[in-house]
Structure 1
Amino acid sequence: MQRRHFLKQTLTTAGLGAAGTAAAPFIATASADETITWDMVTSWPKNFPALGTGANEFARRVEALSHGRMRIRVHGAGELVPALEVFDAVSSGTAQMGHSASYYWRGKVPAAQFFTAVPYGMTTQETNAWLYYGGGQKLWDELYAEYNLKPFAVGNTTTQPAGWFKKEINSLEDLQGLKLRLPGLAGEAMNRIGVTTVNMPGSEIFTSMQTGALDAADWVSPYNDLAFGLHEVADYYYTSAWNEPSAVLEGTVNLDAWNKLPDDLKDVVTEAAHAANLSMISEFTFRNAQALEALVNEHGIKLRSFPEDVTQALAKASQEVIQEQVESDPASKKIHDSYRAFQQTVRPVTDTGEFAYLKARDKVTQG
């Protein structure tokens, strides 16, 4: 699709403007002097750091790039629909847009999980390359079109720790029977090694840990975990990054609403999603550094890594879970084949580039 001339002129104004609250009704098609207003439902508490504010940032960019012709009203979890009903609400047209994570829908669309996080999968940079240049977005479009949705990457929480545990994990035996909040393919892998996993909105994690309904929980990363106060209900923070090496947040658009947009506003939504995605990655890199320092130095959290028998068991279980899903679901096979082929293509340049540099930098830092 050709970008409109006005878009090239206004991309530099993405930092201007503010998300509006105008109550103009949704209009199927619009001329230059009409305003389209959409509602976006999210899986996050209103204005929650990075996740909620990332949705706000996307809405702000849409209004700025469209010169006010398009406005998006952002609703927190529970305001219009519950946190884990975003997919259905947007698919049915209850709201024109949603902001969530695709692995929440594994019960409805098993293949959707590959568009959030894959255990031992690609890094954030590799994942974006697959979506933008390696055919991932096309496959995502095809999958979601069956549910009357158009998906976009509208954020990424980057590499995530393994989560919070009330007790120290010294062996695989210590995990047996634990109740853990962990969604997606990683949750299935944990189930295989003796853990009982559940999926629940982030807003319920603290209370569940406090009351003993959970023994452990994955949420996001230091910035968001600190915001929810998870350090107050667990002492051990496991940094073993196996479950979500990259975690894409999706923006879903009702396909009927999308098809009624003028082409220039489709461009606006696309470019705003791209910008919001990259912006969130940078924010998490900075905020996580601050939050991790606070967790360790101010709150006395104990950082740990899983022992070798746990990491080996998780690697084996992850491969089994993915393979079984691929064999049982044609859509999963098609998407995973593309994902894995792209990972194999980019791994040599990652290994000889960033990974090699980080090893070299570590020697200098230690010296």
Structure 2
Amino acid sequence: MLTLGVTIPFAQQALSYQPHYFKDYRMTSTRRSMLTRASVAAAAGTALGFPMIARAQQNFSWKMTSAYGKGSPFYMEGPGSATDLAKRIDTMSGGRLKIQVFGAGELIPALEGFDAVRAGTVEMNHANSYFWTGKTFAAQYFTAVPFGLNFQGINGWLYDGGGQQLWNEVYAPFGMVAMPCGNTGVQMTGWFKKEIKSSADLKGLKMRIPGLAGRVYAALGVDVKLLPGGEIFPALERGVIDAAEFVGPFQDRKLGLHKAAKYLYTTGWHESATVSELLINKAAWDKLPKDLQAVVENAAAACNVISEAWCQRNNAEAMDDLVKNQGVIAKPLPAEVLKKLREVTNQVLAEAVAKDAMTKKVHDSYMAYKKKYDAWAGYSEGPYHDKILTA
């Protein structure tokens, strides 16, 4: 076989040499010429080690674990859930990337997804990044920050404000990448067995609350517990905990939390928009062809929007039922309590930023974007809710 360096120049000479008496022959041999050139191109691709067609059709079979139990609404079932995400990736890839989804406890414990993806035990995990603040505090910012950005704002920062790039930078030392794949919108403060009249009522309270909000509550004397979703109701019912935060009216009602506590404080101070995280092993990600990487990214972005839309409708219906039919007392926290929570939040964030350069980098980016977004919202969303809707 001729080498690539000899074959192509020779073929070019043959095609460029066109005496007049070959004209009719060339016109009748067009098909043969095209086949010859195709053979040369195929040989060139093989010689360079680029079997393009074979690579484009390579199939992948991955595993994805979740921090939430099988059948959990929003997280595991329904539009925008982990199961829906896997189906979309399968369909969009034409079956070239299939993902087997495991609920919490099926393959690994609920909150061990970070370590499983890092070790390559599974390729993906579906959860929330604030579960990993013990690994790196900066992970908090990619789920929710108390008194932080709303759904529109967090998407603006992630997709167009540098947040996505910082997310991957934070996880780079762990050999992972991540992206948003869902959002609950604003969450509720949580369920309490007793009325909260002042910040003094929080002292000694046993409460299920994850992430940065847990640290803030702890600073105010709350005994903070981190429990998976499936363990919240029995703990609240038996008095192991006095209060609990989960997601919102629909998911909370599904767990039966309204049967164990009647006070639902609605002010979503701690999670004004809660991002679901698709965590991916970097080595596995790099093996995917670019088109399959694009499939995953676009399927995740679709689920991010679709899941939040699902929450809006279902939470509206559930809240109406809880208040009208279930005897739930729904109201915001007292202003004094919110003021104290904000003060402590600022202190906790300042301490975290002072300890870690990466956290400072993420914090500065988040807050700079929030400052601009808040100013814009003062012209757009704020007046709409405060003035136009009440006109």
Q: Which residue of 2 aligns with 1:37?
A: 61
1:285-315 deviation digits (Å, cap 9, x = unpaired):
1111011111111211111221222111101
d(CA) in 1 for partners of 2:104, 2:91: 25
**Aligned counterpart for 1:88 among listed residues 103, 107, 115:** 115
Would the aligned equivalents of 1:34 and 1:69 in 2 still touch at CA under 8 Å? Answer: yes
Residue type at the aligned position of 1:36: F
- Given that 2:114 and 2:132 are in contact with CA atoms closer than 8 Å, whether structure 1 keeps it comes out as yes
Asked whether 1:52 is paired with 2:79, we answer no
Q: How many residues align?
A: 336
Amino acid of the structure 2 residue aligned with 1:227: K
Q: Distance in 2 between matches of 1:333 and 1:30?
A: 45
SS in 2 for 1:146: helix
Q: Distance in 2 between matches of 1:30 and 1:42?
A: 33
Is 1:354 aligned to residue 378 of structure 2?
no
Asked if the contact 1:32–1:69 (Cα under 8 Å) also holds between the matched residues in 2, the reply is: no
Give the whole-Å Cα distance in 2 for the aligned partners of 1:332 and 1:99: 23
Counterpart CA distance in 1 for 2:236 and 2:54 is 49
Matched with 1:270 is 297
Aligned letter for 1:63?
A: D
- Between structure 1 and structure 2, the one with the greater Rg is 2
Is 1:207 the equivalent of 2:234?
yes
Contact 2:186–2:274 (Cα < 8 Å) also in 1? yes
Query: What residue number does 1:135 align with?
Result: 162
Task: Tell me, yes or no, if the aligned pair for 1:44 and 1:202 is still in contact at 8 Å.
Answer: yes
Distance in 2, Cα, partners of 1:350 & 1:58: 31
Q: CA deviation at 1:30?
A: 7.1
Separation in 2, partners of 1:80, 1:68: 23
Q: Deviations over 1:110-167 (max 9, x none)?
A: 1101110100011111001100000000000111111111101010111111000000
| 2:194 corresponds to 1:170 | no
User: 2:384, 2:205 → 1: CA distance?
Assistant: 38
- The change in CA–CA distance for 1:103 and 1:30 in structure 2 (over 3 A counts) is farther
**Alignment pair present for 1:118 and 2:154:** no
Instruction: Tell me which of 317, 322, 341 is aligned to 1:295.
Output: 322
1:32 deviates by: 4.0
In structure 2, the partner of 1:317 is: 344
Alpha-carbon distance in 2 for matches of 1:142, 1:70: 25
Amino acid at match of 1:49: P
Residue number in structure 2 paired with 1:246: 273
1: CA distance between counterparts of 2:174 and 2:231?
28
Letter in 1 for 2:274: A
Separation of aligned partners in 2, 1:241 and 1:220? 10
User: C-alpha distance in 2, partners of 1:159/1:150?
Assistant: 25
Q: 2:90 aligns with which of 63, 67, 84?
A: 63
Amino acid at match of 1:52: M
1:261 aligns with 2:288: yes
Structure 2 vs 1, CA of residues 361 and 341 (structure 1 numbering), >3 Å: closer, same or farther? same
Instruction: Using the TM superposition, give the Cα deviation of residue 68 of structure 1 relative to its aligned residue in structure 2, in angstroms.
Output: 1.1
Residue identity in the other structure for 1:169 = I
- 1:282 maps to 2:309: yes
Match of 2:173 in 1: 146
User: Secondary structure at 2:389's aligned position in 1?
Assistant: helix
Q: Is the 8 A contact 1:38 1:73 kept in 2?
A: yes
Rounded to whole Å, the distance in 1 between the matches of 2:335 and 2:314 is 30
Deviations 1:224-281 (A, max 9, x none): 1011110011010001220101111100111110000011101101111100111111
Map 1:213-232; keep pairs closer than 5 Å.
213-232=240-259
Preserved CA contact (<8 Å) 2:323 2:329: yes
CA distance in 2, matches of 1:131, 1:231: 34
Question: Counterpart of 2:55 in 1: which secondary structure?
Answer: coil
When the two structures are superposed, what TM-score results if normalisation uses the length of structure 1? 0.89
Letter in 1 for 2:248: S
What's the secondary structure of 1:234's corresponding residue? coil
Q: What code does the residue aligned with 2:249 have?
A: P
Identity of aligned residues (%): 43
Q: Which residue of 2 aligns with 1:16?
A: none
Amino acid at match of 1:238: Y
User: Counterpart of 2:279 in structure 1: which amino acid?
Assistant: T
1:262 maps to amino acid: P
CA deviation vs aligned residue, 1:25-62 (integer Å, no higher than 9, x gap): xxxx9734442111100011112111112111111110
Amino acid at match of 1:324: E
Q: Which runs of 5+ in 1 are unaligned?
A: 1-28
User: Using the alignment, how far apart are the partners of 2:273 and 2:279 within structure 1?
Assistant: 19
State the alpha-carbon separation in 2 of the partners of residues 290 and 308 from structure 1: 27
**Cα offset for 1:201?**
0.7
| C-alpha distance in 2 between matches for 1:226 and 1:169 | 21
Q: Which runs of 5+ in 2 are unaligned?
A: 1-52
Q: Return the alpha-carbon distance in structure 2 between the equivalents of residues 334 and 122 of structure 1.
A: 17
**What letter is aligned with 2:74?**
A
Equivalent-residue separation in structure 1 for 2:54 and 2:217 (angstroms): 49
Tell me the distance in 2 between the aligned counterparts of 1:48 and 1:184: 20
**Is 1:79 paired with 2:131?**
no
Residues 56 and 289 in structure 2, CA contact (< 8 A), matched pair in contact too: no
